[in-house]
Amino acid sequence: MLAHEPFVKINLDYIEEGLKLTIDAKVDDTLFITSDALENGEAAYQLVEGFSYDYEFSDKNFSFKKDQIVQPHSRKNNLGIISPNIYVGTLSLQVLKSDTPVGVVLLEVQSIKSGYREDYRDMLELITEKCTDLLMQANSPVSHNFETDFEKDNKTLYQKFVFIKSIISTDEFAESVHRIVSAPVTKWKETTEQNDIRKIKRFKNSNIKELISGSNRSQLPGGHYLEQYGLKSLPNKITTVRKIDTVDTPENRFVKFALESFLKFCSDINKKAKKESRLFIESELIEKELESYLHHSIFKEISRPETLRLNSPVLQRKEGYREVLRVWLMFDLAAKLVWKGGDDVYSAGKKNIATLYEYWLFFKLLDLFKSIFEIEPKDISDLIKESDDGLNLQLKQGEHTALKGIYNTGTRKLNIRFNYNRSFKGGVNDYPNSGSWTTTMRPDYTLSFWPDGITDVEAEVQELMVHIHFDAKYKIANLTDMLTSENQNDLDEEKIENRKGIYKNADLLKMHAYKDAIRRTGGAYVLYPGNTPINKKGFHEIIPGLGAFPVRPSKTDDGITELKIFILEVINHFVNRASQREKIAYRTFDVYKSKPEKGDEVNEILPETYGSNRNLIPDDTFVLVGYCRKENLDWIISTGLYNARTDSRRGSLRLGPGEAGAKYLLLHSKNETKTGRLLKITETGPRVFSKQKLIDNKYPSEPSQNYYLVYKVEEISDKELLNVEWDITKLEKYKNGNNSALPFSVTLSELMNAVIK
At 475-484, the pLDDT tens digits run 775 555 555 5
Least confident of 242-251, 284-293, 615-624: 242-251
pLDDT category of residue 521 using cuts at 50, 70 and 90: very high
Residue 20 lies in a domain: yes
The stretch 115-120 carries a mean pLDDT of: 78
Considering the domain architecture, whether residues 637 and 699 belong to the same structural domain is answered as: yes
Instruction: Give the phi and the psi of residue 337 in degrees, each rounded to 5.
Output: -90, 135
Instruction: List all residues 6 or more positions away from 148 whose beta carbon is below 8 Å from its beta carbon.
Output: 157, 160, 265, 268, 335, 336
Q: Which alpha helices (DSSP H) does 448-530 contain, by range?
A: 456-461, 479-484, 488-499, 506-517
Return the closest-CA partner of residue 689 out of 701, 706, 702: 706
In a domain? residue 127: no
- pLDDT-derived band at 396 (thresholds 50, 70, 90) equals low
Residue of 713, 378, 364, 691 whose CA lies nearest to 549: 364
Q: What is the pLDDT of residue 664?
A: 96
* Percent of all residues in the chain with a pLDDT value above 90, rounded to a whole number: 38
Are 238 and 261 members of one domain?
Answer: no
pLDDT surpasses 50 at 59: yes
Name which residue leads in pLDDT, 118 or 621: 621
> Rounded CA gap, 240 and 439, in Å?
88
pLDDT of residue 501: 46
Q: What would you measure as the largest C-alpha separation in the chain, in angstroms?
A: 166
Question: Which residue, of 60, 95, 110, is where some domain finishes?
Answer: 110
Q: What's the domain range around 237?
A: 187-246
- Is residue 349 one of the residues assigned to a domain? no
Last residue of a domain, one of 110, 134, 155: 110
| Domain end marker among 230, 246, 262 | 246
Whether 537 and 675 map to the same domain: the answer is no
CB 432 within 8 A of CB 408: no
Question: What is the per-residue pLDDT for 390?
Answer: 56
Instruction: Looking at the structure, tell me whether residues 624 and 713 fall in a common domain.
Output: yes
Does residue 136 sit within a domain?
Answer: no
Query: Residues 409, 538: one domain?
Result: yes
Instruction: Specify if 340 maps to a domain.
Output: no
Same-domain check for residues 386 and 445: yes
Is residue 179 domain-shared with residue 192, that is, in the same domain?
no
Same domain for 574 and 460 = yes
Same-domain status, 254 and 242: no
142 within domain boundaries: no
CATH number at residue 642: 3.10.590
pLDDT of residue 686: 94
Query: Quick check: is 86 in a domain?
Result: yes
Both 152 and 270 in one domain: the answer is yes
| Mean model confidence pLDDT for the chain | 83
pLDDT at 624: 96
Q: Look at residue 403 and tell me if it is in a domain.
A: yes
Query: What's the domain count of the chain?
Result: 5
Domain shared by 555 and 435, yes or no:
yes
pTM of the model: 0.74
Strands 390-393 and 337-339: what pairing? parallel
- One domain, residues 22 and 90: yes
Mean pLDDT of 487-495: 53
Residue 734 has pLDDT above 70, yes or no: yes
401-448 residue pLDDT tens: 788 899 999 899 999 999 988 999 988 778 888 899 989 999 999 999
Residue 729 confidence class, pLDDT cut points 50, 70, 90: very high
Q: Say if CB 30 and CB 51 are below 8 A apart.
A: yes
